């Protein structure tokens, strides 16, 4: 009997594992490529006829091109938080009420809360290999150095190589800082003023013109030194504090060498695919392109028609091509869903080096105007997705969340609200409209605009409650502030500005009760939707609170003994090629 029982048990096991392999085989790999700050108007297949992006164009030709693909926020940190979790960033506390709207320090305590479930985590539980190469910008630690509560490896990734922060001006020697610029200026000013006072008083006392005690002068000098020291410790080493490379939990290059990074990241991405070709994998290739400071290999410099910025876009396209080639050469093309996207619109205020948002108004930092949130979105999966299909219905970057999880055979979490929608019915042509009847366009925690796609109607209405005040007047952007604020320097509209995006995607023809007979009905319906949406929000810990965004020396990731953080385990003579 025993033997028979064993035999039955064994065959059950075999059958189960056999079933598992078959099931595993049919699940696709996912290669997600995210550009940073890239405008929708920078890409050939989205209408740019002077920048050459043949590789992205080819993906679109062989796959599906989304033309109304919307980021949940117009800045890196909140947009990426929404992308990873499928939820509006206000739900996870990852959007801000103040002027600071992205994480500023790797030594801050804010970041993607550990109890958020990223798609990587679900896929990892489904047996996927999950790697992230490139930029993270969703926090590092909470309470002590190296607790890594916000780190990619604590959010479902099994491999991380890249920047816990972002490419920023501070990472390039000789460029100006972008972090708390006014705080820095004030600290410097105060310490300079104190220094002048101390010198004057000393001279005055030595020449008997001033009658105060040496004690007072000494006190002032100590005070001035403390000011100077705090500025110097916080900001003098920004390149060390923020610009470094990690492999998994280890800091491997601090500060980073910008000139070797594009090469290194590409190499890492290629190796990740090769290492995992046998099992289903997720690779999130989160590029530093085309965020400033631009760094482009010599091979691409001066090759585009649009200066430094165009060169960088063309290099980005080349990198996309390299990744697609690897997938194809390994024979994985038909088993791999490739997605290309930008985290939000191009940075129009970044003068000569900013992105181009095509016919759309506004750009990075602006939560309401299309230019800040409408981005390129291309999906290719040969043999499964139709080739050359264009979808102009509203879709969101948050849709990737349920789409990936469903395709991987996983369960979308039921204990929380997920704002993304499965894209498959739309891609396969089973439905004509997307599942987003309303979309809420936040700038920080402030609701700036709402988009309404009524059922069974071709119109797409958009109501703006708040819009940034552009400066100088007549410009489209906040050139004197570098980026438009969400709360101060905004105009509130009552009645809201109303546009029909299906006829007026550039948002230039404001509707009125005279030009649109249903004007009031439309606004009333949208107002009801806003009320319903607000009821679904619950208070959560604010990741951008004052204490969370401060630099905390005891959280600073450091290769060496703090504050002497310096190492380079990566370069081995590899330089710009
Ligand atoms: C193509 O992109 C460049 C650089 O961003 C921009 O200056 C140019 O106006 C764009 N061309 C079109 C036709 O959109
Ligand atoms: C991949 O799918 C395409 C489209 O269905 C098909 O033409 C091609 O032969 C497939 N390639 C392989 C290697 O199976
Ligand atoms: C995560 O924890 C916070 C604080 O305890 C809580 O407010 C929030 O609802 C939790 N989020 C989820 C998705 O469970």
Three-state secondary structure call for residue 195: helix
Per-residue pLDDT averaged across 513-538, rounded?
A: 98
Q: What is the mean pLDDT of the chain?
A: 92
**Confidence check: pLDDT of 498 > 50:** yes
Residue whose CA is at the smallest distance from ligand 3 atom 3: 540
Q: Tell me, what's the pLDDT at 24?
A: 46
Q: Tell me, what's the pLDDT at 575?
A: 46
Which ligand 3 atom is the nearest neighbour of the CA of 539?
Answer: 7
Which ligand 3 atom is the nearest neighbour of the CA of 117?
Answer: 13
Count other C-beta atoms under 10 Å from residue 429's C-beta.
Answer: 10
Give the span between the Cα atoms of 224 and 445, in whole angstroms: 38
Which ligand has the minimum distance to the alpha carbon of residue 383? 2
Pair 337, 31: CB distance under 8 Å: yes
Three-state secondary structure call for residue 382: coil
Q: Tell me, what's the pLDDT at 13?
A: 46
Distance 149 CA to ligand 3 centre (A): 14
Please, which pLDDT band fits residue 205 given cuts at 50, 70 and 90? Answer: confident
Which ligand has the minimum distance to the alpha carbon of residue 382? 2
Give the span between the Cα atoms of 378 and 428, in whole angstroms: 15
Gyration radius (Cα) of the chain, Å: 26
Q: Tell me, what's the pLDDT at 93?
A: 98
Which ligand 2 atom is the nearest neighbour of the CA of 383?
Answer: 5
Which ligand has the minimum distance to the alpha carbon of residue 540? 3
Half-sphere exposure of residue 547: CA atoms within 13 angstroms, side-chain side: 4
Please, which pLDDT band fits residue 317 given cuts at 50, 70 and 90? Answer: very high
What residues flank ligand 2, with Cβ below 6 Å? 334, 382-383
- Structure-model confidence comparison of residues 265 and 192, the more confident one: 265
Pair 502, 388: CB distance under 8 Å: no
Residue whose CA is at the smallest distance from ligand 3 atom 14: 115
Q: Tell me, what's the pLDDT at 172?
A: 85
Please, which pLDDT band fits residue 14 given cuts at 50, 70 and 90? Answer: very low
Distance 335 CA to ligand 2 centre (A): 10
Closest CA to 495 of 460, 473, 534, 526: 526
Please, which pLDDT band fits residue 3 given cuts at 50, 70 and 90? Answer: low
Per-residue pLDDT averaged across 480-506, rounded?
A: 96
Query: What are the start-end ranges of the H helices in 164-213?
Result: 181-206
Give the span between the Cα atoms of 558 and 177, in whole angstroms: 20
Please, which pLDDT band fits residue 23 given cuts at 50, 70 and 90? Answer: very low
What residues flank ligand 3, with Cβ below 6 Å? 113, 115-116, 416, 540-541
**The CATH classification of domain 31-168+243-555, taken from the options 1.10.1060.10, 3.40.720.10, 3.40.718.10, 3.90.1150.10:** 3.40.720.10
Residue whose CA is at the smallest distance from ligand 2 atom 10: 334
Decide whether any atom of ligand 1 lies within 6 Å of the 272 Cβ: no
Per-residue pLDDT averaged across 340-367, rounded?
A: 91
Dig out the tokens for 346 from the structure.
């191009």
Q: What are the pLDDT digits (tens) for 71-110?
A: 999 999 999 999 999 999 999 999 999 999 999 999 999 9
Residue whose CA is at the smallest distance from ligand 3 atom 7: 540
Pair 66, 381: CB distance under 8 Å: no
Residue whose CA is at the smallest distance from ligand 1 atom 10: 48
Q: Tell me, what's the pLDDT at 275?
A: 97
Which ligand 2 atom is the nearest neighbour of the CA of 334?
Answer: 1
Total count of residues recorded for the chain: 577
Decide whether any atom of ligand 1 lies within 6 Å of the 116 Cβ: no
Residue whose CA is at the smallest distance from ligand 2 atom 11: 334
Pair 244, 251: CB distance under 8 Å: yes
Q: Where are the domains of the chain?
A: 31-168+243-555
282-to-59, 131, 277, 552 alpha-carbon distances in Å: 18, 6, 11, 33
Residue whose CA is at the smallest distance from ligand 3 atom 9: 540
**Confidence check: pLDDT of 16 > 50:** no
Q: Tell me, what's the pLDDT at 5?
A: 53
DSSP code, position 85: H
| % of the chain residues with pLDDT over 90 | 78
**Confidence check: pLDDT of 25 > 70:** no
Which ligand 1 atom is the nearest neighbour of the CA of 306?
Answer: 4
Give the span between the Cα atoms of 235 and 247, in whole angstroms: 25
Q: What are the pLDDT digits (tens) for 135-147?
A: 999 999 999 999 9
Give the span between the Cα atoms of 169 and 187, in whole angstroms: 20
Distance 384 CA to ligand 2 centre (A): 10
Dig out the tokens for 260 from the structure.
């070797």
Q: Give DSSP secondary structure letters for 234-256.
A: HHTTHHHHH--EEETTEEEEES-
Q: Tell me, what's the pLDDT at 11?
A: 52
Active site residues: 76, 137
Give me the residues paired with residue 442 across strands.
447
Instruction: State the DSSP H helix or E strand holding residue 533, giving kind and residue range, or none if neither.
Output: helix 519-535
Pocket test for ligand 2, best of 324, 333, 337, 338 (most atoms within 8 A of CB): 333
Give the span between the Cα atoms of 244 and 237, in whole angstroms: 12
Please, which pLDDT band fits residue 577 given cuts at 50, 70 and 90? Answer: very low
Distance 96 CA to ligand 2 centre (A): 47
Distance 92 CA to ligand 2 centre (A): 41
Per-residue pLDDT averaged across 210-237, rounded?
A: 85
Which ligand has the minimum distance to the alpha carbon of residue 331? 2
**Confidence check: pLDDT of 361 > 50:** yes
Cα torsion 305, 309, 315, 319: sign:
negative
Dig out the tokens for 459 from the structure.
């119109």
Pair 313, 50: CB distance under 8 Å: no
Q: Give DSSP secondary structure letters for 88-103.
A: -GGGGT-S-SSS--S-
Q: What are the pLDDT digits (tens) for 370-388?
A: 999 999 999 999 999 999 9
Q: At what angle do helices 214-235 and 181-206 cross, to 10 degrees?
A: 160
Residue that has been written with the tokens 């396969």 in this structure: 428
Q: What are the pLDDT digits (tens) for 28-65?
A: 999 999 999 999 999 999 999 999 999 999 999 999 99
**Confidence check: pLDDT of 443 > 60:** yes
Pair 138, 80: CB distance under 8 Å: yes
Pair 74, 372: CB distance under 8 Å: yes
**Confidence check: pLDDT of 344 > 90:** yes
Instruction: State the DSSP H helix or E strand holding residue 531, giving kind and residue range, or none if neither.
Output: helix 519-535
Strand 490-500 and strand 159-163: the pairing is unpaired
* Lowest model confidence (mean pLDDT) among 177-186, 193-202, 255-264, 374-383: 177-186
**Confidence check: pLDDT of 22 > 50:** no
């Amino acid at each position: 009997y025993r033997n028979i029982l064993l035999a039955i048990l064994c065959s059950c096991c075999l059958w189960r594992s056999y079933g598992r392999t078959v099931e595993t085989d049919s699940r696709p790999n996912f290669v997600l490529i995210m550009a940073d700050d890239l405008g929708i108007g920078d890409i050939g297949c989205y209408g740019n006829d002077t920048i050459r992006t043949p590789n992205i164009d080819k993906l679109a030709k062989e796959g599906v091109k989304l033309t109304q693909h919307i980021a949940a926020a117009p800045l890196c940190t909140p947009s990426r938080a929404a992308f990873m979790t499928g939820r509006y960033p206000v739900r996870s506390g990852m959007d801000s009420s103040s002027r600071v709207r992205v994480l500023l320090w790797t030594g801050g305590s804010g970041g993607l809360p550990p109890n958020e479930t990223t798609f990587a985590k679900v896929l990892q539980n489904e047996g996927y290999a999950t790697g992230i190469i490139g930029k993270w910008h969703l926090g590092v630690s909470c309470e002590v150095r190296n607790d890594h509560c916000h780190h990619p490896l604590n959010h479902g990734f099994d491999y991380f190589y890249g920047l816990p922060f972002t490419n920023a001006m501070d990472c390039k020697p000789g460029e100006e800082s972008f972090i708390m610029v006014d705080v820095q200026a004030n600290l410097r000013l105060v310490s300079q003023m104190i220094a002048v006072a101390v010198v004057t008083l000393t001279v005055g006392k030595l020449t008997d013109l001033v009658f105060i005690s040496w004690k007072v002068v000494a006190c002032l000098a100590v005070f001035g030194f403390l000011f100077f020291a705090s500025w110097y410790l916080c900001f003098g080493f920004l390149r060390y504090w923020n610009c470094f490379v990690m492999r998994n939990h280890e800091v491997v290059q601090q500060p980073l060498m910008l000139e070797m990074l594009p090469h290194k990241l590409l190499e890492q991405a290629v190796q990740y695919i090769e290492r995992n070709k046998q099992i289903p994998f997720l690779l999130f290739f989160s590029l530093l392109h085309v965020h400033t400071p631009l760094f482009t290999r010599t091979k691409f410099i001066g090759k585009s028609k649009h200066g430094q910025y165009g060169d960088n876009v063309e290099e980005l396209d080349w990198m996309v091509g390299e990744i697609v080639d690897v997938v194809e050469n390994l024979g994985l093309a038909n088993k791999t869903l490739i997605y290309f996207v930008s985290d939000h619109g191009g940075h129009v205020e970044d003068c000569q080096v900013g992105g181009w948002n095509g016919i759309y108004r506004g750009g990075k930092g602006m939560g309401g105007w299309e230019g800040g949130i409408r981005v390129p979105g291309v999906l290719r999966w040969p043999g499964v997705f139709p080739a050359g299909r264009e979808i102009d219905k509203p879709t969101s970057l948050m849709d990737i969340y349920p789409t990936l999880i469903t395709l991987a055979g996983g369960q979308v979490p039921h204990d929380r609200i997920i704002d993304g929608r499965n894209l498959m019915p739309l891609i396969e042509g089973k439905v004509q409209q997307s599942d987003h009847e309303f979309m809420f366009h936040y700038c920080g925690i402030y609701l700036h605009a709402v988009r309404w796609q009524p059922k069974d109607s071709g119109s797409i209405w958009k109501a703006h409650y708040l819009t940034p005040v552009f400066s100088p007047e007549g410009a489209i952007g906040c050139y004197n502030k570098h980026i438009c604020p969400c709360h101060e320097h905004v105009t509130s509209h009552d009645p809201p500005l109303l546009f029909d995006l299906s006829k007026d995607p550039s948002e230039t023809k404001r509707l009125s009760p005279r030009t649109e007979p249903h004007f009031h009905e439309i606004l009333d319906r949208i107002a009801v939707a806003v009320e319903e949406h607000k009821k679904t929000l619950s208070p959560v810990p604010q990741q951008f609170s004052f204490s969370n965004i401060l630099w905390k020396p005891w959280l600073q990731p450091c290769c060496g003994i703090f504050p002497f953080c310096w190492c380079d385990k990566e370069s081995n003579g590899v330089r710009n090629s």
